[in-house]
Structure 1
């Protein structure tokens, strides 16, 4: 399993209040969620009416699919009429088998209970 994470830093053009900013951020979030089926949250610069930092996440069984979806979200963000994409960063994390034998996250912390469950089904 792969988790793709995208950080978008936006400059909100013409926003004079947090209400103006929320309108732009809400529109971006709703468009991204509807079109790309991703999770989106405002994660930084919450009290600054002219700037927003958004976190976007997607899960897939292919790293390349995560990368494509996040690139498409960033491309959409770069075309927003009321905001300028100032910066972006992407990270793809492999969890569990992930196609590369990487073990991490909750599976590693709990001693890989998913593997134990798989063994029970085989019995």
Structure 2
């Protein structure tokens, strides 16, 4: 089994409150879940209204599939005009790795 994850650090555009932040981050999370069948959550910078940390995880028996999903998810986030992708950290492990 292969496990892959991404951690996104995002700078949100014209956001002036935590309520507006939720309005920007929730659709992103929903789209990632819908398009790629992955687990996604807001994981960082929850008290800051112009920054967001979003984590994504995928599990598969095929390494290539995990890498393809991570690549596609990163491209989708980077292409969103209402937010800037500051960084993306990636991890990939096999379940029997020590």
Q: CA shift at 1:81, angstroms?
A: 2.3
* TM-score normalised by the chain length of structure 1: 0.76
Task: List alignment gaps of at least 5 residues for structure 1.
Answer: 97-101, 105-123
Name whichever structure is richer in helix by fraction: 1
Q: Can you give the 5+ residue segments of structure 2 that lack an aligned partner in the other structure?
A: none
Alignment-derived partner of residue 55 in structure 2? 55
Question: 1 or 2 for the larger relative contact order (CA 8 Å, sep ≥6)?
Answer: 2
More strand by share: 2
Q: In the alignment, which residue of structure 2 is the partner of 1:115?
A: none
TM superposition shift of 1:8: 0.6
* CA RMSD across the alignment: 1.0
Deviations 1:18-68 (A, max 9, x none): 111111110100000000111101110000000001100000111221111
Distance 1:76 1:69 in 2: 10
Shift of 1:79: 1.2
